Amino acid sequence: MAAALLFQLAPAPAALAQAGGAQAAGFELTRSVQQSLKRLQEHWVQWTTAFYQDNPQRAGEALRQVGATARQVGFTRLPDLALGAATRAVESAAGGNLARARWALDAAEALDPGRPEISFARARVARMGGQRTAELRAVWQGYRRLWSSPHRDLATTNLRLWGLAVLLAASALFVAFEAAIHGGAVYRDLHRWLARRIRSGPAHIVLVLLLIGPLLLPTGPFWLLLIWSVLLWGYLSASERIVTGIVWAIVGLAPLAAAAEQERIALAQLPPLRALAAFGEGRLYGALFADLHVVRSVLPTEPVALELMADVHRTLGQWEVARSLYRELLEAEPGNVTALLNLGAYFYRKGDFALAIDTFSRAAAADPPSAAAYYNLNLGYSESYLFEEARQALDRAREIDAGRVDLWVKTPNPDRVLSFNGSLARGEELRNKLRQAWEGAPAAAGTVPAAVRRYLPLAAAALAALAAVGLHLVRRRWGYGEPVPWLPWHTGLVGRWLRALVPPLSQLELGEGFAAFGTLLGLTALCLLPAVSWLGVDLAVGWTPGPMLLSVASLGGLLLYAGFRIWTQIAREQG
């Protein structure tokens, strides 16, 4: 039931996901960049050939060429090639060539340092080599890297979704246990009331339809939980009623929280945001240009999209394309300092120092003042032999931020002037624009609006609370029946051990609602622990131990709990 509630949420932004497809052709690449990318592929083929020839020297030379070619187009990390090297390492280890597997793993590390996938592949290789200590060390390193990798947000979202699932499952179990204890009394009281109006036989049919029939609905467990919580209210103690109120709050709010988490996952996986994150980290992956094309497809006139495209073209060395985009951006945002700096850098590179000085001056006039604008202005003046103006501009830059200016002076820069990827600071703005495009997309015909689906559980939980209180006020004058003693945990050997291993039964019989709900939370968390690895979104990190470790932890925790409860029961009987 918990999973059914969690994923009864807003749809994924399919319109945005489909907008790009594989339209890499929509992203303009100059001949020189295309040639560089082709050389990159050729060097990778050379590395692969040397790998299968078991020639680490030739492979190392090819790997250096791969890195140098990637840097020519402005990127430092090649995740697809790193995963390819890691895959070949695992294949070699499976074939018994551990030495080749290890230098392939080193190559993967060089292609994209710090990836959790590489650590997990290293753990797999170590296990194949019988090195258990090295395997555990690599697994630990992989999980540490996971929490500092681009997968971190998705992993924390999965944890939050798992927590919501635990709360929902524990809430459902709480109502189910209350129904097990008080269900007989509820049924007898309702049948007595119905039998006064219709015959006894039809009354039984009506009650079965009322108390079990909701399971036939599409979201049957949800409605069954609410109906039973309403009927049980009058039979509960004060603490049990408070917990029932908490259950209603969880049932009403958890789907809202889950919808927000699912929306966050869907947005993070949209091609434009995936491309923005990779661009900021210097990662060149196979679908990067197709993903970037989605930015212009979905947000064709938005300044944030223009700046991202311009920054990527400039990073690739496609300055002419970048210049056109920066000019288009400045028509929408005349005070965009980073766009002015980058456009001025274009003129400086072309040797048009008058236009460069004019553009840098516009950037320097912005508020707040920019040290980078004055630093670039200093260089423009120097190239124009205006040395006094250059000195004044440099002094002004130092007044604004002396530390950064000294760093710029000391750091080698082949372009001399500074340029920046201003789009990287606008990730949240891009995310909001994509969300607006998503929400503005027309819904499919015949579907229930997302807002209705999202707030339906909250409205249903609020109505259940009102109905429970109203029903209790109406019928409390006639009293409530007592639980019947025929339930199996009341007597005999089975009853004793059920009480020992499932303490919420005894706690609820005594009206201890808080203790019962706390116990159910703990047991539910242990049982659902393996779901952490798959609930929400599958993290594509490869070669992980998967749910095995979590399953072992879950089973171990349950066994420890059962052992403690058995030992306590034996000690109680012997004492």
Q: What span, in angstroms and rounded, lies between the C-alpha atoms of 492 and 71?
A: 76
Q: Please give the full DSSP string across 538-565, using - where no structure is assigned.
A: -----S--THHHHHHHHHHHHHHHHHHH
CA–chain centroid gap for 566, Å, is 40
Burial label, 400 (beta-carbon count in 10 A; 0-12, 13-18, 19+): middle
Q: What span, in angstroms and rounded, lies between the C-alpha atoms of 267 and 434?
A: 8
Place of tokens 């006020």: 473
How many Cα atoms within 13 Å fall on the side-chain side of residue 189?
A: 18
Q: What CATH class is the domain 29-153?
A: mainly alpha
Residues in the chain: 575
pLDDT along the chain (575 residues), means of 10: 44 39 62 93 95 92 95 93 94 93 94 92 93 91 86 84 93 92 84 80 83 79 88 90 94 89 81 88 91 86 93 94 95 94 95 95 92 95 93 95 93 90 91 79 52 80 91 78 57 69 83 92 92 74 74 89 83 71
Evaluate whether the domain defined by 301-437 bears CATH number 2.102.10.10: no
Backbone angles phi, psi at 283, to 5 degrees: -100, 125
Q: Please give the full DSSP string across 95-113, using - where no structure is assigned.
A: TT-HHHHHHHHHHHHHHST
CA–chain centroid gap for 297, Å, is 24
Burial pattern 510-541, b for ≥16 Cβ within 10 A else e, equals: eebbebbbebbbebbbbbbbbbbbebbbebeb
Tokens found for residue 264? 């966050």
Tokens found for residue 439? 């929400």
Q: What span, in angstroms and rounded, lies between the C-alpha atoms of 315 and 318?
A: 7
Q: What is the dihedral of CA 107, 112, 116, 122, to 10 degrees?
A: 0
Q: What span, in angstroms and rounded, lies between the C-alpha atoms of 391 and 379?
A: 10
CA–chain centroid gap for 387, Å, is 53
Q: What span, in angstroms and rounded, lies between the C-alpha atoms of 341 and 346?
A: 9
Tokens found for residue 393? 């501009």
Q: Is the peptide bond before 545 cis (omega within 30 degrees of 0)?
A: no
Backbone angles phi, psi at 318, to 5 degrees: -90, 70
CA–chain centroid gap for 309, Å, is 25
Q: Which of 287, 273, 225 minimizes the C-alpha distance to 252?
A: 225
Which amino acid is residue 436, in one-letter code?
Q
Tokens found for residue 222? 């949800």
How many Cα atoms within 13 Å fall on the side-chain side of residue 223?
A: 13
* pLDDT score at 11: 38
- Is 255 in contact with 248 (CB distance < 8 Å)? no
What's the alpha-carbon Rg for the chain, to the nearest Å?
33
SS3 of residue 283 by DSSP: strand
Domain residue ranges of the chain, discontinuous segments joined by +:
29-153, 154-264+449-574, 301-437
Q: What distances in angstroms separate CA 443 from CA 446, 454, 469, one per listed residue?
A: 9, 15, 38
- Please state at what angle helix 337-350 crosses helix 303-316, rounded to 10 degrees: 30
Q: What span, in angstroms and rounded, lies between the C-alpha atoms of 384 and 353?
A: 7
Q: Which own/partner pairs from 108-113 qualify as long-range (CB within 8 Å, at least 24 positions apart)?
A: 108/82, 108/83, 109/82, 110/63, 110/67, 111/63, 111/66, 111/67, 111/77, 111/78, 111/79, 111/81, 111/82, 111/85, 112/77, 112/78, 112/79, 112/81, 112/82, 112/283, 113/77
- Is 104 in contact with 528 (CB distance < 8 Å)? no
Q: What distances in angstroms separate CA 365 from CA 230, 240, 334, 342, 567, one per listed residue?
A: 67, 67, 12, 16, 78
Q: Which of 243, 232, 258 minimizes the C-alpha distance to 171?
A: 243
Tokens found for residue 186? 């509820």
- Is 417 in contact with 345 (CB distance < 8 Å)? yes
* pLDDT score at 486: 45
SS3 of residue 325 by DSSP: helix
SS3 of residue 77 by DSSP: strand
Tell me, yes or no, if the two domains 29-153 and 301-437 fold the same way.
yes
Tokens found for residue 575? 């004492």
Tokens found for residue 347? 């003129």
